[in-house]
Structure formats: structure tokens, C-alpha cells
Chains A and B, each alone.
Chain A
Amino acid sequence: MLDDVDRRILRQYQRAPELTLSALAERCAITQATCWRRLERMQEAGVIRGQQAVIDWRAMGYEVEVSLRITLDKTAPRAFDEFLAAAREIPQVLEIQTFLGRVDLRLSVIARDMADYQRLYRDHILTLPHIADIEALMHVARIKSDEVLPV
């Protein structure tokens, strides 16, 4: 299990994953050797799974981001599997989530502009299998996006 030192490391490291080992150790007020050992152990235990680069799609010309909330026709036995397999084929889909709640699924999709979005929606989204209902929510702004876990 994790102790207070591990948690301190994770708190600092989540906020600044680009820190060098020595800078991270300094912020946590521990030695570099301790910091390295703790990180190594958390990686081996699978608590730390890695690091990924975060892309700013706007900087790549994708101005529109839409959340599509989808309800499936569950009378079809393989509705989820077939829908998910088809959704994975659309490059503009960034996230696929399934839920227990009022909606079954959410797709996060990006497009270059509204005309591009309309094309994507008509030609690729509406043609996905087993859709019973679909609602679109347009993103205006990200207020908080660090996804830090309160360890």
C-alpha cells in the first residue's frame, strides 16, 4: 500500500510530469535515491502506468468539439459491440465512454469547423449501427482539465 511519501510524490508528479528526478525529489523534500526507489516501486505495482503527450487539437486546426450522448437500441443483442467497433473506425472520435445512467454512451468528436462537423455527423456518426437516440452538446470552454486524482 501507499504511504504518505508515495502520496506526496504522486501529488507533485501529477501536476508536473515533466519534472526531472532531482526537481521532483526537491519538491517532495526527499532524497533523489528515495524518490527513484518509490517511483520504481509504484511503476512495478502498476500504480504509475506511464506518461502521454497531450495534444491541443485547436492548434492543429480543429476548432469544434462536440459531445455526442447516445442511447442504443438494446433489442439488438450485439448492439454495444457493433457500435463500438464502428465508432473506433472514425478518426475524429477522441473518446468513447460507456455508462450506467440515462445515456448508454458518449463520443467526444472534433472537427475543423461547423461545415466539417456537419459532414462528419451526417456521413459517419448517423450511419453508426443501433442508434436509438442521439444528443449533441457543443463544448464552449475547458475550465479545468488536469484530471489530477486527489491522492
Chain B
Amino acid sequence: MAQADAQMPDTALEPILRVEHLTMRFGGLVAVNELSFEVARGQITALIGPNGAGKTTVFNCITGFYKPTSGRIAMFAGTPQTDAAIDALTNSPNTHAHTANGGVYLLERMADSEISSKAKVARTFQNIRLFTGMTVLENLIVAQHNWLNLASGYSVLGLVGAPSFRKAERQAIDLAVAWLDRIGLTDRADDPAGALPYGDQRRLEIARAMCTGPELLCLDEPAAGLNPRESSELNKLLMSIRDGNGTSLLLIEHDMSVVMEISDHIVVLEYGTKISDGTPDFIKNDPKVIAAYLGVEDEEFDDAEAELEK
């Protein structure tokens, strides 16, 4: 899968998310400009770039925090749809379309809770946003609210103690406990989430996002503030999510040891524009990326520019 010199991702891979001509303006500032990229199903895709490149803005557009100024963000369920089907949906007033073998969701038209519950996209934030007053276990159960609420008849059955509610509750707890085992926090289950150390909170946040049952998990700087040991644990966790749960990942990360080790595909942004897109090996050696990241000395500038013009 890791062809060293492929600039474009392997087209044989199925996309799960397709971002096309995404533009986001804030007043006169263009935060994201005509950005197009794809996230392949079953892969870890990293979105990198210098500070202020617009990475988090892209995330905010994908997860419904912002309505993009223009562009299309299509999320696929099941087998990818034909372009004709996507265009037909785009021309209709609907937010999503189902077919026999899958569906398309136009995320830019959907509200944030629908993006999670219908399109199956979950995300975490740069700053941790756990429900600090709730217990560790409750944080994982509240993420299963959607089906649990249906199963408990909007809590009415819960009030009368119906067996179906108890069963659903037990299933939710089982899933939560399984995740606690996986992130090694079983013994902290009943502590308030705010009392956990920072690294544990990060992993709990990822587990909570996974408890919503996402097809695509978007992580905004999951390794920020982690020490090397925690960071390598995180790598293992993310790879096990990709391989074990079959969830595709899109992550923003500055820690290159994380990015290069686990990513299958990297998209590089600078000033809201895509400057490179490819495998980690390709990105590592791309002079445009090096110039964007390291800056270039005066004498090297001409070289770099010459390289760019090739």
C-alpha cells in the first residue's frame, strides 16, 4: 500500500469521505480555499500543516460546527456511490440518500447531532471536552444515547423498569466496560471524568467517540500534551481502532512521530490550500512540505522555488 512515489492516493481504495472545493470564509479571511481531498475507508488519514493552516476549520466543517461558504462534503455508507447519484442528491433538497448497498450524506447540509447519529461521524477536540462532572462510565454510556433512548422508549420504559430497558442498559454498560478495558481505565469507572490524569482523559475521549459507533472518527490533535510513552500507547490504540473496529480515521496532528508512524495517507495544508497529498514517504520528501514546515533560508529559497516550479 505504501508506494513511495504515488502523489495521489491509490484510486482503487474506496473513499468514505470526499471533500470537494471546500471554501470557508470568515469576513474577508479565507480560512480554507477550494480544498479537495478524500479519506479512504479503513485507513488512517492525517491532515497536517503549520499553525493557522485551516485544519481545525476543515474539521469544523465536516462535523457541522460551521456551514462551509461553498463546497461539498460527502460521506459514504457502504459501497461508494456513483458521481451521478451524488450529483442527483446535491441537486435535490435532501441531506442524504439511501440505496440498496449504502448511502450518501451531504454533511454540509446536516446538523451536528445528525452528523453523529445518521452519518456516523464522531470527533474529538484539541482541548478535552469530557463531561467532567459525570463518571468515566457515564461518559461512555451517554455516547450511546441514540439507540439507548430508542430502546428505552424515550426513558418512559425506563421509569417503569421495563425489561427491554434493562437489557438495553446492560448492553450499553457492556460496550462501555469493553472500552474501559481497552484503554485501561476499568478501575476508574466510577470516578468523575475530571479527576483523571490528562493522558487518560485523552484516551477516554477517544473511547467515548467510539461508543457512538462511528464509521469515521475525526481526531483533532490526539497526541497533544502526551509524553512519549502515552503517545506510543495512543498509536497502538488508533491502529487497533483501524484494524479491529474497521473505523476509518481522519486526524490532525503536529506530532510527526505519530503522523508518520500510523498514517496511511497524509494531506498537507498551508494557508487553507492543499499543498501536498500522498503517502507518508512521499510527504516526507516533498520539497513543498519541507519548505512550508521548516521555512527556507534565503540562499535556499531560490533552490526551493526552482524545485517548486518543476
Same complex: no
Chain B residues with CB under 8 Å of chain A are none
